[in-house]
Structure 1
Amino acid sequence: MYPANFDYQKAHSVDEALAAMAANPDLKVIAGGHSLLPAMRLRLAQPPALLDIFGLEELRGIRREGDVFVVGAMTTHAQVLRSELPLFPEVAHEVGDPMVRNRGTIGGSLAHADPSADYPAAALALGVEFVIRGPEGERTVPADEMFLGMFESAVRPGELLTHIRIPASVQASAYEKFKHPASHYAIVGVAVVRHMDGQIRAAYTGAGEKAGRLHLLEERLNGGQPVGTGLVESSGLLGDRFASPEYRAHLVDVLAARAAARV
């Protein structure tokens, strides 16, 4: 099926993109396009206009600033995979296939807030910060406040996620995933990170309407206790033909034990 007709324009700078969004609130921002274009072809999404930001060089690349890695939102999964970032290269290896990884972007994935995406669990476990620009200037959002619901992030209309700030002070990290056999999205994924101060943060994705912290797992591991079971309540999890809420809760326990054993 072909998408409905739409207008197209390309931004040449972040300021130009922000101005275009302010002038036309109906604009839909497109980066790599791997989430939006399939929905448009099926006419599940019919935006009247697209704003292409994929070519914004100021939003590309990875650099280190002291104890923090600064990653441009238009950095591709393939670039992340080849980087020295903590945890994210391992996670990027689990994203799609080579074609997706060479076109899709880390910022597009995180801002899209797909409940089955891989990056959100890594972002929560690492404690990253999101740099967002809009008409009122720049603001920084901690990972715990980024993912608000199913396909809902802290990026407001008229704003752009420009950079991700990732702590470099990580002792060890691991990501374990039980993936959908066709799409490779996470039916459940668990990330565990041991930071330089010895504290462990952990998070899951795929199981609920948004990625979330595994506070009980953190308490057990930071207290020197075994991983155990019952890390999440099945009553709040998703259920579909691939996995029931109860099975997803079981997968969280299993994958958490595997990831914890590696850190």
Structure 2
Amino acid sequence: MIHIVTSKNRHLYARQLQEMHQLRRLHFIEENGWTDLKVVDGGEVDQFDDDRAVYLLALGPDDEIEVGLRVRSTLDGCILTDCFPHMIAQGVPPLNGPEAWEMSRIFSTHAYRKNRRGGRRVAEAFLAAMEVAHAHGARRLVGMVDMRLYPLASNIAWDLKLTGLPAPYAFGVMAGVYAPIGASEIARLRESLGGLSAAGYEVEDEDIALCGDFQGIESQFLRASAAVRPMVDMDEGPHAIAAAAALYAYFDGRRIGQPERERTGA
């Protein structure tokens, strides 16, 4: 499960968000040597860490961050188009505006890379990004990738495309990228990850009240979303079955599956 952290539920993730910014400083500044980034209170931040930013977090067994990714509407700004327009060739579809969301600041921790094989949780984070952007009416994700990581990014079951030729930047060689998103693209990536019905979930206060903590929510999410066996056959008590059914009702098209305007009636 990938935690979808928005301006509405950030109060539930104060510890994780502080950790995320610190890990971004460690990864991008200390390890990658990006010297043009800003550090505030020990964490890396930029102008896109505002109320419109959505953070996608994969948590470990102690609620520590294993993978982090930021997605955001490009209606009022986009790193790729605003700062690196020379990376965009003619004929590329619009990379900002109502049809595009930007993905940025992707990282995984040393502990995750050491103790887990493969990049499944990274792929789940990208799937959650597709789900969130698609739910808000976007048709593509855009971003930038260092060419050292391009083989890994392109190995995921999505149609990742270059926006133009790779070019040098201060810390290596990079390229702009975009990936179309729609029902079929999301279904394809879900199928590649074992037939997931969803990757991301936006936790609310009532979820904490129902399940107790993040680990309880993740457990019920897995029960609700992975069709391993019928729920009534689970070796669980009535309370656990009811909790799983209630959680399934939350994410099965009622929140992340519909744009905000449809869910609220606005």
- Larger relative CO (CA 8 A, sep 6+): 1 or 2? 2
> TM-score, structure 1 length as denominator?
0.29
TM-score norm. by structure 2 comes to 0.28
